[in-house]
Amino acid sequence: MIPDRPLEVLKAIVRDYIASKEPVGSKSLVERHSFGVSAATIRNDMAILEEEELIVAPHTSSGRVPTDKGYRMFVDQLSEVKPLSAAEKVAIEGFLSKSSDLDETLSQTVRALSQLTNQVALVQYPSLGRASVRHIEIISIDDKRLLLMLITDSGRIQQHVLDIPGGYEAGDVEKLRNMLNESLTGKGLAEVSAIAKTIAQKSTGKIKPLAERVTPELLALVDANSQEKILLAGTSNLARREDDFPGSISPVLEAIEEQVVLLKLISEMQADQHGVSLLIGRENSVDALSSTSVVISGYENQGSEIARVGVIGPTRMDYSSNIGAVRAVARYLTKSLGGSQ
Amino acid sequence: MIPDRPLEVLKAIVRDYIASKEPVGSKSLVERHSFGVSAATIRNDMAILEEEELIVAPHTSSGRVPTDKGYRMFVDQLSEVKPLSAAEKVAIEGFLSKSSDLDETLSQTVRALSQLTNQVALVQYPSLGRASVRHIEIISIDDKRLLLMLITDSGRIQQHVLDIPGGYEAGDVEKLRNMLNESLTGKGLAEVSAIAKTIAQKSTGKIKPLAERVTPELLALVDANSQEKILLAGTSNLARREDDFPGSISPVLEAIEEQVVLLKLISEMQADQHGVSLLIGRENSVDALSSTSVVISGYENQGSEIARVGVIGPTRMDYSSNIGAVRAVARYLTKSLGGSQ
DNA sequence: ATTGGCACTCAGATCCATTGAGTGCTAATA
DNA sequence: TATTAGCACTCAATGGATCTGAGTGCCAAT
């Protein structure tokens, strides 16, 4: 479709623009790269690119800037992404090796990724989807309160404090816990709801009131667990890129803080050839994010993809290194979760 | 010290400046407020205020702007703060009544506060200081892994997954848990360290290796618990106030994301007459925050102050309503924690 | 102590000329 | 046919120069 040299010109324009943040013109292009042709020829090529809407001129007589479509073609042409430096690898490993607690692992991961990329980093909590119950625990706190815990095989732990106004007996709690674990351990979260209800109904005698108090809370925990959640880090990195945003950054920050929106966005994305998924500029459906790009990869727990991790930044970002970093972090995360979780 | 009318003039200047964001001059002052004197007289008063460094002129011939010292005098003169509207009260109660889980309560509180004030809101997790062990739990996850939990009386729950490469026996775990709870429940966190070590030493036979594996992790949990932690919400509210900051907001955002700095800042603050503590502009020691003010109040759990909650925003903020909101939220939080935690 | 009057200041808006990077087009060239 | 040199043209950005008006400080009068 598009001849060879013009394509090279496009790549050069993207790279120069990312580096310099100035619209790039034919002359500076020929002197920075060795195309072996004159500026006039480059201009002809640029005319082709403009025809294809891959680049655009901010004003009649000035250099060109890549369009979303231009960036898209650029990344699709990327044959290899920038690998992490040894130092960066060490840094990630150091971050991730410290902990085997899911909360901590994720929060360290997201911080590491944001420092690595100088962008806003995000990580999605493992979603319930295929998660199942690993263990249910009921702990006595004092004579009128219990702590109910749900542990899923994705490593997520959720707890809730229950008031039992009438008090309870230790033996009953023990029995209920055993009942719950026997019937629920290993079951998918989706099944829990139905099973738990029958337990409440089937239980008899002294246990019944306790069961009827506990099971609804258990369901609430399952629900809370299915509420997808995102962890953010490095919001100020966006602010530092202030002038990459027309008008003000504030709507962008708002949109990013809006979990629901972000979740929808990243859950619709599908990995491409590099194991990462990209949305560039207006390719995403959120208006406030029309001048940002999102780089996402999935991470896995025990072989099945469970959630995503990535960065979000101005369209004018260094795609190559960001893709590399996101991919690497996703891999380390998978490794770290598979190993000790 | 400062005569009556000039003081009134100062208040008017602060209020007008907060509302209009423009330096305020003598003429607009006399027409917006009824001082019963002429502009020239106001000018004389303003000269006094300027002499006292309560106001300052951005450039030789323009209106005046309050200095940090001016804001300080203004808030110290505040006899009453703006009470919350009925709707706002309902909103807070709705937010807080939903949950008895500490994590959730705090995260909802901080979100509520940020929406109420349109500022960045922050809440400090209950600090260990006077916290003590409520319960220690060890849960079997599978045959090679245990989940260790520490629950403090401030309601904070901390957990960690332990690999036990050699496996373990259920009975041993049971015994160890009982030992730990007997000797540690009710003890202050500071004491835990010493006691736990003697347990590891005193334990004999089969339990010893397990105890030696578990107690260090328990200490690590205590340490993690003593790491103070802050929850933030509404960062984008700062961005919306962009032009209240000279240069760029990005260093401000960075400073706010720096937990250590913030913690130091708020832990040094002491409540004043309104039950709130204020730092205005350069009164705080963090350079990047020199054009922000911090409004903080303490909240309590079972009668003793345990941590703080507040907002941070541009010096040019509506002190009256922010103080009101922070104070109210702190009270609701205390109530909510005292009641169900 | 307060006020009207007045000369003075200075940030910000408006207008204008200049500059220069960059373009599109054309005619010549390989 | 693809490339190139040359040239006229465009237009954002820059830097005065000028104007305006809100606001001041000060003084003499009340």
Q: What is the DSSP string of B125-162?
A: PPPSTT-BEEEEEEEEEETTEEEEEEEETTS-EEEEEE
**CATH class in words for A129-226:** alpha beta
Q: Copy the structure tokens of residue A109.
A: 């991961």
What count of residues does chain B have? Answer: 341
Provide the pLDDT confidence category of residue A177 given band limits of 50, 70 and 90.
Answer: very high
pLDDT of A155: 78
Given a cut of 70, whether residue B40 has pLDDT beyond it is yes
Place of tokens 């709690």: A173
Provide the pLDDT confidence category of residue B128 given band limits of 50, 70 and 90.
Answer: low
Provide the pLDDT confidence category of residue B86 given band limits of 50, 70 and 90.
Answer: very high
pLDDT of B190: 83
Set of chain A residues whose Cβ sits within 8 Å of the Cβ of B135: 139-141, 147
pLDDT of B99: 63
* Single-letter code of the amino acid located at B210: L
pLDDT of A98: 64
Lowest mean pLDDT among A167-176, B16-25, B65-74: A167-176
Residues at the strand D interface (Cβ < 7 Å): A 5, 36-38, 40-41, 44, 59-62; B 22-28, 39-40, 43, 46-47, 50, 57, 61-64
A102 or B14, which is more confident: B14
**Burial class for B86, CB neighbours closer than 10 Å (0-12, 13-18, 19+):** exposed
* Interchain contact, B249 vs A239, CB within 8 Å: yes
Q: Copy the structure tokens of residue B139.
A: 């849960």
Q: Copy the structure tokens of residue B3.
A: 């005569």
Run of H or E including B190: helix B189-202
Helices (H) and strands (E) in chain B, counts: 13, 10
For A121-159, the DSSP string reads EEEEPPPSTT-BEEEEEEEEEETTEEEEEEEETTS-EEE
Q: Copy the structure tokens of residue B56.
A: 């300052």
Mean pLDDT value across residues B290-310: 86
Taking CA atoms, A205 is separated from A181, A199, A248, B293, in Å, by 19, 13, 64, 60
* CA-based nearest residue to A26, from A10, A5, A40, A11: A40
Taking CA atoms, B341 is separated from B133, B232, B283, in Å, by 14, 22, 36
* CA-based nearest residue to B59, from B25, B10, B20: B25
pLDDT of B327: 95
Rg of chain B's alpha carbons, rounded to an integer?
Answer: 26
Set of chain A residues whose Cβ sits within 8 Å of the Cβ of B160: 99-101
**Where do the structural domains in chain B lie, given as residue ranges?**
4-76, 86-127+228-336, 129-226
CB burial of B212-230 (b: ≥16 within 10 Å; e: otherwise) equals ebbbebbeebbebbeebbb
- A6-15, B26-35, B144-153: range with highest mean pLDDT: A6-15
Contact assessment for residue A330 and residue A299, using Cβ atoms and an 8 Å cutoff: yes
- In this complex, the nucleotide whose C1' atom is nearest to the CA atom of residue B37 is C2
Question: Which residues, in sequence order, are CB contacts of B112 under 8 Å at separation 6+?
Answer: B91, B92, B95, B96, B121, B329
Contact assessment for residue B67 and residue B290, using Cβ atoms and an 8 Å cutoff: no
Given a cut of 80, whether residue B160 has pLDDT beyond it is yes
Set of chain B residues whose Cβ sits within 8 Å of the Cβ of A249: 239, 242
Contact assessment for residue B94 and residue B288, using Cβ atoms and an 8 Å cutoff: no
Give the three-class secondary structure for B316.
coil
Give the three-class secondary structure for B318.
coil
- In this complex, the nucleotide whose C1' atom is nearest to the CA atom of residue A37 is D3
Taking CA atoms, B161 is separated from A151, A155, B142, B174, B256, in Å, by 11, 9, 11, 17, 31
Run of H or E including B38: none
Contact assessment for residue A78 and residue A323, using Cβ atoms and an 8 Å cutoff: yes
* CA-based nearest residue to B115, from A110, A125, A258: A258
Cα–Cα distance measured from residue B225 to residue B227, given in angstroms and rounded to the nearest whole number:
5
Q: Is B239 on the interface with A (CB under 8 A)?
A: yes
- Chain B closest-CA separation from residue A185 CA (Å): 11
Mean pLDDT value across residues A260-288: 90
pLDDT of A201: 86
For residue B85, the 8-state DSSP code is P
Given a cut of 80, whether residue A48 has pLDDT beyond it is yes
CB burial of A167-201 (b: ≥16 within 10 Å; e: otherwise) equals ebeeebbebbbebbbebbeeeebeebeeebeebbe
For B230-294, the DSSP string reads EEEE-HHHHHHTGGGSSS-SHHHHHHHH-HHHHHHHHHT----TTSEEEEEGGGSS-GGGTTEEE
- Chain A closest-CA separation from residue B283 CA (Å): 24
Given a cut of 70, whether residue B15 has pLDDT beyond it is yes
- A41-55, B80-94, B209-223: range with highest mean pLDDT: A41-55
- In this complex, the nucleotide whose C1' atom is nearest to the CA atom of residue A35 is D3
Given a cut of 50, whether residue B220 has pLDDT beyond it is yes
pLDDT of A39: 95
Provide the pLDDT confidence category of residue B341 given band limits of 50, 70 and 90.
Answer: very low
Place of tokens 């259920």: B170
Cα–Cα distance measured from residue A172 to residue A164, given in angstroms and rounded to the nearest whole number:
13
Given a cut of 70, whether residue B129 has pLDDT beyond it is no
For B319-339, the DSSP string reads HHHHHHHHHHHHHHHHHHHHH
Average pLDDT, chain B: 89
Q: Residue B60 CA to nucleotide D22 C1', Å?
A: 12
Run of H or E including B314: strand B304-314
Taking CA atoms, B263 is separated from A283, B111, B258, in Å, by 40, 19, 9
Fold (CATH) for B86-127+228-336: Beta-Lactamase (3.30.450)
pLDDT of A267: 87
Given a cut of 80, whether residue A100 has pLDDT beyond it is no
Contact assessment for residue B292 and residue B313, using Cβ atoms and an 8 Å cutoff: yes
The string of pLDDT tens digits covering residues B178-216 is 999 999 998 888 888 889 888 888 888 888 899 999 999
Provide the pLDDT confidence category of residue A262 given band limits of 50, 70 and 90.
Answer: very high
Helical H segments across chain A, by residue range: 4-20, 26-32, 39-51, 68-77, 86-97, 102-117, 170-184, 189-202, 207-226, 235-240, 250-257, 259-267, 319-340
Provide the pLDDT confidence category of residue B340 given band limits of 50, 70 and 90.
Answer: very low
- Chain B closest-CA separation from residue A289 CA (Å): 14
For B4-76, CATH gives 1.10.10.10
pLDDT of B273: 63
Place of tokens 């394509």: A7
- A196-205, B89-98, B246-255: range with highest mean pLDDT: B246-255
Mean pLDDT value across residues B56-73: 95
Given a cut of 80, whether residue B4 has pLDDT beyond it is yes
CB burial of A237-257 (b: ≥16 within 10 Å; e: otherwise) equals bbbbbeebbeeebbbbbbbbb
Given a cut of 80, whether residue A258 has pLDDT beyond it is yes
Cα–Cα distance measured from residue B126 to residue B307, given in angstroms and rounded to the nearest whole number:
5
Cα–Cα distance measured from residue B147 to residue A150, given in angstroms and rounded to the nearest whole number:
12
Q: Do domains B4-76 and B86-127+228-336 have the same CATH topology?
A: no
The string of pLDDT tens digits covering residues A275-327 is 899 999 999 999 999 999 999 999 987 656 678 999 999 999 999 999 999 99
Average pLDDT, chain A: 90
pLDDT of A157: 83
Run of H or E including A21: none
The torsion angles phi and psi of B162, rounded to 5 degrees, stand at -110, 130
Q: Is B178 on the interface with A (CB under 8 A)?
A: no
Taking CA atoms, A1 is separated from A4, A33, A72, B79, in Å, by 9, 23, 15, 75
Cα–Cα distance measured from residue A215 to residue B36, given in angstroms and rounded to the nearest whole number:
70
The string of pLDDT tens digits covering residues B263-289 is 999 988 987 767 899 999 999 999 999
For A95-107, the DSSP string reads HHHT---HHHHHH
Residue from the list A137, A142, A250 with its beta carbon closest to the beta carbon of B139: A137
- Structure pTM? 0.88
Given a cut of 80, whether residue B130 has pLDDT beyond it is no
